[in-house]
Amino acid sequence: MIDCKALDFTLRRATHSDALTLAVLGMQVFLDTYATEGVREAIAREALESFDPETLAAIIQNPRELVLVAEVNRHVVGFAQVSLNNDHPMIDDRHAAELKRLYVQERFTGRGVGWRLLRHAEEEALAGGASAMWATVWVGNPRALQFYPRQGYTCVGPAVHRLQAETHQNDLFCKPMTTPTRDCPPFDNAL
């Protein structure tokens, strides 16, 4: 087992000045995760629209959004985005928060960045009044499908995700918000 303190990184809230860096990191992780068979028009459009620096700057400034950043030596290596008060028909909880993104640069996966970002996002969401956190995970992402149950999330069932004009099968995971633990979970190339 790897010591969870082996990588010295810091967590903080994103600021407006992070938009460009988060855009590039987000696009890199998005393409590594979803362009597994190459890039086609729908993936290219989604990447350019979702990770436009102006779009991310607006998200960072939105009080209903939490954007948390993980840094190593002042280099961004991951981020989490949470939408507060964002229920889902399968959750039926108007105080639920949606984990929209949990992105960690590939070379920093398995080193505690993902689970620490997630724990920090849970704490911030709980402080913001969230009673549950949910996320949809693409069924083609086995690492994430294994990661969330290890973090206390339960698979509620299948959900559809729209990417441009396409639909993709996802699984919806949910966790009731309680005081999160700071224990170091086992590492097996987790996020």
What domain range is 91 assigned to?
10-176
87 lies in some domain: yes
Look at residue 72 and tell me if it is in a domain.
yes
Predicted TM-score (pTM) of this structure: 0.86
The secondary structure of residue 95, as a DSSP letter, is T
Domain-embedded: residue 184: no
**H or E segment at 172?**
strand 166-176
Q: Is residue 191 part of a domain?
A: no
**77 domain-assigned:** yes
CATH number at residue 82: 3.40.630.30
Tell me, yes or no, whether 2 lies in a domain.
Answer: no
Does residue 48 lie in a domain region? yes
Which regions in the chain score pLDDT beneath 50? 1-5, 180-190
pLDDT at 169: 85
How many domains are there within the chain? 1
Q: 178 to each of 10, 124, 188, how far by Cα in Å?
A: 23, 11, 25
Distance CA 70, CA 117 (A): 7
4 domain residue, yes or no: no
Q: For tokens 């105080």, what's the residue?
A: 95
pLDDT of the residue at 166: 67
